[in-house]
Amino acid sequence: MRIRNVSLALAGSAMVAALVTASPAVADASPTLPDPSLTGVLAVQKQAMAAGAPGALTRIDSGATVHKLSMGKADRAAGTVMDADRRFRVGSVSKSFTTVVLMQLVAEGRLDLDAPANDYLPRALPDDRITVRHLLSHRSGLWDYTNDMFYHTVPGFESVRNKVFTYQELIDLSTAHAPANEPGAAYSYSNTNFVVLGQMIEHITGLPMATQYEQRIFKPLGLRNTSYVHPRTTLTGSYARGYVRDDDTTLPLVDSTEQTVSWAQSAGAVISSSSDLNRFFAAVVTGKLLAPEQLREMMSMVPVNADGTQSYGLGLRGRELSCGVTVYGHTGTVQGYYTYAFTTADGKRRMTSMANTSNNGTVNSILGGTLEAAFCGTDPTRASALTRSAGGGVTEDIAPQVVRH
């Protein structure tokens, strides 16, 4: 195996880029795709940092070849350089983990996707027409309580940073609002859906989500850098610190690393690494975690944007890229971290990217350019053209009805 290490100091700044490639003497296992553009990834990371991210990392597993790219700082105060092996909070990528647990319970005959969710809950939702499938596909209409909780980003975060919620407390925050739509009528992304699913899983099994994740996913796949420590607040081992931007962009970034993430729980509190996320999503799409029927359900995509390039299945996103390939995975936003984790349908090329900031829609959109570089071989010039348009308002996995800039 050939390993190449490159460290690059970018002129005129304190940014540092690192690239590691490990390539055995075998052919790439995804011959129909262009080779990843490593310079394209670095160009996107550089743009993300110019837009306010302290650092960024990307890992691409392409067959038996591994590319690790990183730039900037994992810890601003200590000056620690970012590297692609660090752990981080994955935010809504957690929804795919929760979905796998739920779909395994479906395979075991312990619940029905098209049954009323209320059949499996300790306390009924206001609308008995909401099914388990509606929750998994964000079609329940349940209001996302994070729209209120984080309407003012940093004050909202500080008010819940160390708070421990029950599932029911979060559900009650949602149901105090009128629903966004009738059950099944429309896609409307809501963290409430996956909080309800967490409550459902614990009610059915009598075991906490931490045990379900560990027994059904983490241990079987050997995900040594993946954990669910709710409501503990700290990360362990080698990790990247997270920094959230204030709505008043003249104020300094806020270190948001330590928090309970109790406001999200089964919707967003998993901690992982790029290597583990790549392994997880490859295992999902290749059927290592799910029976064929449940995998087909999870990967049955419905478009969720006007041009059909973005779709959602059951706890899984689909992205159609410029080279015609559709990749599957999830995005993640949690205070201080943006994540993109996706794989081809055959699991042979996987990519995870993370930037250690949030409440910065420009960085979030720019970071998505690593998908084009990793899967379509976009060159640096084209990467710039694709990602420069990211400056407009966007919505995110937190407070999805609040436009961020």
Catalytic residue numbers read: 92
Cβ neighbours for 258, distance < 8 A, ≥ 6 positions apart: 161, 233, 234
Are 246 and 359 spatial neighbours (Cβ–Cβ below 8 Å)? yes
The CA distance from 86 to 240, in Å, is 6
Are 71 and 49 spatial neighbours (Cβ–Cβ below 8 Å)? yes
The neighbouring-strand residues paired with 273 are: 87
H or E element that contains 283: helix 274-285
H or E element that contains 72: strand 65-75
The CA distance from 8 to 11, in Å, is 9
Omega into 179 within 30° of 0, i.e. cis? no
The CA distance from 57 to 74, in Å, is 9
For the record, the structure tokens of 387 come out as 């990602």
For the record, the structure tokens of 89 come out as 């909070």
Burial of 255 per CB tally in 10 Å (0-12, 13-18, 19+): middle
The CA distance from 179 to 80, in Å, is 45
The CA distance from 391 to 234, in Å, is 33
State the number of CA atoms in the 13 A half-sphere of 314 facing the CB: 28
The neighbouring-strand residues paired with 341 are: 330, 352
The CA distance from 119 to 203, in Å, is 11
Are 337 and 225 spatial neighbours (Cβ–Cβ below 8 Å)? no
